[in-house]
Structure 1
């Protein structure tokens, strides 16, 4: 399996370095999900977001220019009074002196900004060890400070760190995998010119520079959603009587965007739109986080990256974001229609797990381009929304039966086939046990009639329970897939270091790395035990 992945990776290198590469080819890679286990994701994102052109011959010049630009911005906006570039004369470089030339003056002015950013960065993806590394946190803080100082009309707003984090994660992962691949024999298939191009693209010394440029391009598309000033010439409405909550909200750009989303939802699904309006749940109530974080808290990171693959393919990306927003609502429409105010808010604030992210994104692409992309069939693929992302039942979901043990087989399930087998088994058992006069009750999956046992009890609830349990397992397996993939890469790196062991320091580094991997696997096992309990 590993060999197959390596072959695909090097084929991917050759494809992206080919002279006939087109934007359409890259889009298809994103649509087909071929970037999920590839070192090309960060490079494709840079091309799709106009950080780099399609032509590989221009990459070196543009990378050199953009990296030099970041060095210049960093020198302007990051102030370290201990830096040798500042005068060390105590008359000029003194924390107690308040002069314009004193670097401490600027350092203290930026204290609040640094403090806010540092607190947010510390809270970034606490479940992923990558973001707990000190150098990663320092890099994120530096990028956010430079961006905030360079764009004072937006500055820094909470949530920007969660846009930056996946970008940095993808770029660093690609660099690490490239360095590992470079040491293998397969790298010899590339010519010397292409090797130099890739070494420049995946240069570890400049990963902060490249991440900043990538982050800046994303913020060019969604930056207005972080602006909090009211539109010019608009009078406040707060004094008007009988206003609904969202009508009194200042008309910022993000509020207007969410109003457009509400209008689109009404055109696609008037029933769902009317239900939410009657409950006084406007998109502004739950959608600000969805938009500002590009759905970063609603999906696991491996699914989120695939969603971003497709979002970054489209121009403007705002249209695709709007389509994903609509797809999220329609995907759980049945649950929302059956819920009251509290139930709807719970589903919208803690979005239920999506079983097949590929089908979900096909639905989003359908809303973005309905004439070209067919609408997928969601009835056969339930959305298991009676559980939260953490696998806990929603409080508004009432179950009057005891959870049966071992309801789901230990083998890895494939959603459709497993559900079909469950239904067939239950139907067969019931047919054998019940009399011909027994009439099945409606319920269960996709509105199908569910058979009853001798006591007349419907099987619909058992089928629903099985769906929930399979969804929990699927979510846990997805997390394990990501963990195993990351651990495998790092273990390969450790093995390579052991082969070239030439110093005590290298041995210590490898030992630390292996202990970290052991701790991650132990934590994963403990987490799974807690979930079972």
Structure 2
């Protein structure tokens, strides 16, 4: 899934060794259902998680933290950034290790960025004219601060299709950058944080661009896929707005690490070659259909008779983790729940998607194909707590317990 064998120059041997480390798998802690049939907690949250000192313990009770987030109790709390890092496995449960791990991981990100994105742009060792570089010939639309210009040797030329050609790699990078640059301005343009109307918001978009480009270069088999910017946005927003200004200043590095972990749960959904495999998007859509059938046979039968298939409305729900279906502040609450689920992000995501169908059952049962498709492609406003409550009450389908683990792949051990 991830490129672990990318060859880097000897001068960056440490980075090369880093990319070659073995995979690790993140399994959230937990066991039984966190909410009973009446929507009440089945386990009491320890006292340390009931107030603002919940993260002050030497060893964090991750299970209790999952419980807290799952119940939707993070809204308005200043520690959401830290809690998300814990839930994604970026921070260890031993609080004394946080500083050491953060420093180590941020240095690693800086090394990768230096090697793959921001090497000095001018290395004209033989005093060539600036116009001889591929960057210059492609025009100024290419960001001069990104990607390195390396001396052209061994007869390399712009028409070369060799995988070792510097020009060939350059043009591939240009294409990725252009794709990212088309998508970034569409990332929640109604929110000042992401809009390009101010120098600060422009810096935010530049940081997100670095993350997406670095991910694409490290994973050429996947590259950049439209919509990845939407998956990055909540992470970067939460980390950049961390009340702890020191942590906020490292939002780019922290977001990259957590972005890798988040995508490890659903990377196969972005790989077209795996669309019809057991871990591909069509298999996941089938699981959603089976989950609805197990919980509301009448609604499932009605949609099936009308041929309102999940492919027509839930493809975007699942691949973009519902980031396009709700207002931005709702997305924060939904992701609290997704990240805290002890069976993984995909299990809770399918529950929420199924709950979305159940919550508009009345409208769907009286609608035809066109009206139902319009409703589901433009999902109406809904009470978030009620939606999540319904999601927790759903009975898993017979195939769901196995499927929820299939997309939980290993995580690149760039970050412990």
Q: Calculate the TM-score normalised by the size of structure 1.
A: 0.56
Q: Which residue of 1 aligns with 2:282?
A: 255
Residue aligned with 2:187, SS: coil
Conserved? CA contact 1:95–1:105, under 8 Å: no
Q: Which residue of 2 aligns with 1:213?
A: 257
Conserved? CA contact 2:277–2:283, under 8 Å: no
* Structure 1 residue 145, shift from structure 2 partner: 0.4
Residue aligned with 1:16, SS: coil
Q: How does 1:201-240 map to 2 (within 5 A)?
A: 202=247, 204=249, 206-230=250-274
Conserved? CA contact 2:291–2:396, under 8 Å: no
* Structure 1 residue 211, shift from structure 2 partner: 0.7
Structure 2 runs not aligned, ≥5 long? 1-48, 135-150, 157-163, 196-200, 398-416
Q: How does 1:359-398 map to 2 (within 5 A)?
A: 359-367=386-394
Give 1:75's match in structure 2, choosing from 114, 118, 122. Answer: 114
Distance in 1 between residues matched to 2:73 and 2:173, nearest whole Å: 43
Conserved? CA contact 2:239–2:251, under 8 Å: yes
Q: Which residue of 1 aligns with 2:29?
A: none
Higher relative contact order (CA 8 A, sep 6+): 2
The count of residues paired between Structure 1 and Structure 2 equals 317
Residue aligned with 2:308, SS: coil
Distance in 2 between residues matched to 1:156 and 1:149, nearest whole Å: 9
Distance in 2 between residues matched to 1:281 and 1:304, nearest whole Å: 25
Q: Which residue of 2 aligns with 1:111?
A: 174
Q: How does 1:5-16 map to 2 (within 5 A)?
A: 14-16=53-55
Structure 1 runs not aligned, ≥5 long? 1-9, 180-198, 232-248, 371-533
Distance in 2 between residues matched to 1:80 and 1:123, nearest whole Å: 28
Return closer, same or farther for 1:309/1:67 CA change in 2, 3 Å cut-off: same
Return closer, same or farther for 1:168/1:203 CA change in 2, 3 Å cut-off: closer
Matched, 1:164 2:223: no
Q: How does 1:122-137 map to 2 (within 5 A)?
A: 122-132=185-195, 133-137=201-205
Residue aligned with 1:334, SS: helix
Q: Which residue of 1 aligns with 2:241?
A: 173
Conserved? CA contact 1:121–1:141, under 8 Å: yes
Conserved? CA contact 1:230–1:252, under 8 Å: yes
* Structure 1 residue 23, shift from structure 2 partner: 1.1
Deviations 1:154-193 (Å, cap 9, x if unpaired)?
211111100001111111111xx334xxxxxxxxxxxxxx
Give 1:305's match in structure 2, choosing from 327, 332, 335. Answer: 332
Give 2:360's match in structure 1, choosing from 326, 332, 337. Answer: 332
Conserved? CA contact 2:351–2:391, under 8 Å: yes
* Structure 1 residue 107, shift from structure 2 partner: 3.9
Deviations 1:214-263 (Å, cap 9, x if unpaired)?
111100111111111046xxxxxxxxxxxxxxxxx898701111011111
Return closer, same or farther for 1:350/1:203 CA change in 2, 3 Å cut-off: closer
Conserved? CA contact 1:319–1:368, under 8 Å: no
Give 1:290's match in structure 2, choosing from 317, 334, 338. Answer: 317
**Larger % of helix: which?**
1
Distance in 1 between residues matched to 2:393 and 2:97, nearest whole Å: 35
Q: Calculate the TM-score normalised by the size of structure 2.
A: 0.71
Return closer, same or farther for 1:347/1:112 CA change in 2, 3 Å cut-off: same
Distance in 2 between residues matched to 1:212 and 1:118, nearest whole Å: 18
Return closer, same or farther for 1:368/1:226 CA change in 2, 3 Å cut-off: farther
Give 1:24's match in structure 2, choosing from 63, 81, 97. Answer: 63
* Structure 1 residue 61, shift from structure 2 partner: 2.0
Return closer, same or farther for 1:203/1:270 CA change in 2, 3 Å cut-off: closer
Q: Rg bigger for which structure? A: 1
Residue aligned with 1:323, SS: helix
Residue aligned with 2:54, SS: helix
Return closer, same or farther for 1:250/1:57 CA change in 2, 3 Å cut-off: closer
Return closer, same or farther for 1:24/1:331 CA change in 2, 3 Å cut-off: same
Distance in 1 between residues matched to 2:248 and 2:204, nearest whole Å: 16
Return closer, same or farther for 1:36/1:224 CA change in 2, 3 Å cut-off: same
* Aligned Cα root-mean-square deviation (Å): 2.6
Give 1:154's match in structure 2, choosing from 204, 207, 222. Answer: 222
Matched, 1:39 2:78: yes
Q: Which residue of 2 aligns with 1:523?
A: none
Return closer, same or farther for 1:369/1:53 CA change in 2, 3 Å cut-off: farther
Conserved? CA contact 2:152–2:166, under 8 Å: no
* Structure 1 residue 19, shift from structure 2 partner: 2.3
Distance in 2 between residues matched to 1:153 and 1:210, nearest whole Å: 23
Return closer, same or farther for 1:54/1:251 CA change in 2, 3 Å cut-off: closer
Return closer, same or farther for 1:316/1:67 CA change in 2, 3 Å cut-off: same
Matched, 1:266 2:314: no
